[in-house]
Structure formats: structure tokens, C-alpha cells
Amino acid sequence: MAPGPCQLGTNRTLAPDGGNLAEVLSLLQESRVQLEEYTQLVREVLPEIWQVNSRRLENNTGEVVIWTDERAITKNELAFTLAECGSGIGQVLAVMYVLVTAREPQVIILDEPQGFLHPGAVRKLVEVLRRYTKDKHQIIIATHSPTVITSADPSSVTMIKQDGLESVFESIDIKKAAEQRTYLGEVGARLSDVFGYDRVLWVEGETEEKCFTLLMRQLTNEQLMGTAILRVQHTGDFNSKHTKNVIGIYERLSQVEGGLVPPVVGFIFDRETRSEREIYDLKKQSHDRIHFTHKRMFENYLLNPSGITAVLNNLELPEITEPQVKSWLEQNKTNVKYYKPSQRTDDWTDNVNRALLLIDLFASLSRGKVSFDKTVHSPMLTQWLVDNSPEELKELSELIKSVLSDQTNTHETIPGSSPINPG
């Protein structure tokens, strides 16, 4: 846009570059009703603006001015010129003018509105456009933003993809796209979580969502390269009698042709206390899409005394020494509170209930001042291991890498004939 002063005249049609916005607004001021309607629309999108006017300058020129304080509207020296404001304000002022003054149906084209407005303002702009264009104007929006797509509730969506030197236009079935958004809602995700990605890896929870991304970026030679790592809403759904239905929801997310959601590359869950038979059944029902950690839970990989000591000493506590942490772990590692006797193995870190263990450890060594928070402290422990002892996370990082590379061994035998590889 051209936000500076312009020549005033009698032209009520806004120029393509908005360069005569001051002129058309000076004429709009002649109609108090239209001016109030225009101002109200601008406020809906940009609540910080109280008034918009065209101010006359020398030589029959004018400039657009705005007030952000209702008490200052009568004081010209407290107004801001459009040139002093962000480009987004000028874009909104121009679009709102067309909505209010157009006497005939218009085709209004917006190119990447999220590029000049913050997400909240984008949503409000789209809402105003929907209200004012119903049975009147047609709006065409070019966007890469899922916020715009979901807010617009569009009558049609066209995906434009590059094919060599050509742009290929692919029509998206609105009904199928709506189905996908419904499925996303059922699994606790939004279109903004997956839009624009090539594929999705579903994981146990928020902690894994953060930490698996960290492991991929810092411990393997693989890059995510268009892969979204997202947590499932209820991992327990995969233990119920409705497992097939739950897996089906995730599968349908990526099987709707002409949709907006990328395909599922796989699932990585905590092994927990599942039996080999349960693991086999889940893998079979998911067509080998579900994979399990070798250790009981993700945090079982984080039971490093040095790392725990470092994290505790970053929490504004009296200094805690590594021997204190080691001593506490040694005294409690065989406590039946943390696992059933049948679950014990030579490596106690495989099957211990790390959730209870770390909760008690943090509470004991901090004397009740700090509670273990897996979404906060697990990423801290993960980063410490990545920096200081990455070999302890090699098994897990290789599992993630193999799933994303689609190189996992999918040949499984029925429990009872030979052991299942936990990875």
C-alpha cells in the first residue's frame, strides 16, 4: 500500500494500491451512518483503534490519521498517521472500506492476510468478511495459514502444488475436510498442528512430543523434514476393547482422499506393563504402525544420577550432591512400591515405575520444596543427557529414527513361539 498523503477529490473508488485511501475516507465522512459503520468494523478487527479520519493538508491533499485513545480524539496532535502505523492497519482499513461502500457485488482477493496481522486479528477479519459477504461479495484468500482456513469455514478449498515448472490445482472436498477436522478434535489435535506437514508420528504424551523432537535433531543424522511429532489424547484408549476403533480414527485422518491432513507414519508408546501378547495384538491391529519403548516408560531412560543432580541444582535449592542422589536410588530401587516383583529384571531401570520414583526422589531430596513435573523436568533431564551422556539415549533415538525412516522390522511371531523384540 501507499500510506502517505494523496490528492483529495471526488473519487469514491479505492485505488488498487490503496493510495487514495485518504481521499475516499474524506468523502465517507460526509455520511455519518456509513462512517460509524466503518469505524465499528475496524474496531472489531483492531480493538485498539478508536477513530479513523482523513485530515486535510496543504494544496488540497490529505492523509489518513487514527486515534488509539478515545479521550484524545479531539486532539489532532495525538493522532497517528497511517505512515506511522504497521502495514496491517492500512490493509484492514482498505478492506473494510470496500465492504461498507461497495454498491455492487465484488470479488475481493486477499493474499496471505496472516502475513500482516497477528492471529487474533486474522480470525476477527475473517469473521467480519464472512458476515459482510454473505449473499453479496465473493472472497478469495490465498494463504498458508490453518488459522485462516478454519476461521473462514470456506465453501471451497483449492490446494496449489508445484509440479515441475507448473502449478497444479487440486480441489479439496469440503465434506471430507470437515470429517478430518472432526477426527482431529477426537484425538485432541487441531488443523494448525498438522497442516503443511508431510506426515505425523503420534507419541505417548506432551513430554515425548518435546523430547523426541530434541532427540531427532541432536542425536541422529536424520531431520524431521516435514514430520510432525504429536501426542495422542488418551493413550489408555489403546488398551481398551475399542482399540480397533481408536486406531481406525487415526488411520482415517490420513486416508481421506483430497483432505488437509498428512498420513500417519506410526505410533511410539511406552511399554508400561503390557504383556508380549498385548503388544503383539496392538501391533497386529495397527498393521505394525504401533511401536513400544524397550523400557517401561520414557523417563526410565532418564534415571542418570549425574543428570538428576544437575537438574535439582538448577531449581534454587540448597546444593544437592551426586552421592546423595545415588544413595537414595540405591536404597529405593528394590522397593515394591515402584514395581511388581514379577516385573523385576537384572536392569532395574527397565521396569521401575519412574513416575512414582522421581516424584518421591524430588520430594525427598528437596525436602518437599519441589514436585517432579514431567513436562518441565523430563526435557531438562533429556537435554542434560544429550549434552553429557548421549549413549544412554541411543536405543531410543534409533527407535525413533527407524520408525520415521520406515525401516523397522515388521516381521513378528505370535507370543509363545519366540520373544517379541520390544522395539
Q: Which of 78-87, 224-233, 358-367 is most confident?
A: 358-367
pLDDT above 70 covers a percentage of the chain that reads 88
| Residue 185 confidence (pLDDT) | 75
Distance of CA 265 to the CA centre of its chain: 18
Phi, psi of 192 (to 5 degrees): -65, -20
Residue 57: band (very low, low, confident or very high) from pLDDT cuts 50, 70, 90: very high
240-286 pLDDT, tens digit per residue, is 666 666 777 776 776 655 567 788 888 999 988 888 888 888 888 88
368-413 pLDDT, tens digit per residue, is 999 999 999 999 999 999 999 999 999 999 999 889 886 434 333 3
Contacts of residue 179, defined as CB under 8 A and 6 or more positions apart, other chains included, come to 252, 256, 259
Mean pLDDT of all residues in 159-177:
84
pTM passes above 0.75: no
Contact 236, 213 (CB under 8 A): no
The residue behind cell 524431521 is 224
DSSP sequence for 258-275? T-SSPPEEEEEE--TT--
Cα separation, 9 vs 293, in Å, equals 73
222-248 pLDDT, tens digit per residue, is 777 778 898 887 666 676 666 666 777
Among residues 197, 161, 200, 155, the alpha carbon closest in space to that of 173 is found at: 155
Contact 89, 66 (CB under 8 A): yes
Kindly state the DSSP code that residue 386 receives in the 8-state scheme.
H
128-149 pLDDT, tens digit per residue, is 888 877 778 888 999 888 878 8
Whether pLDDT at 295 is above 80? yes
Contact 313, 319 (CB under 8 A): yes
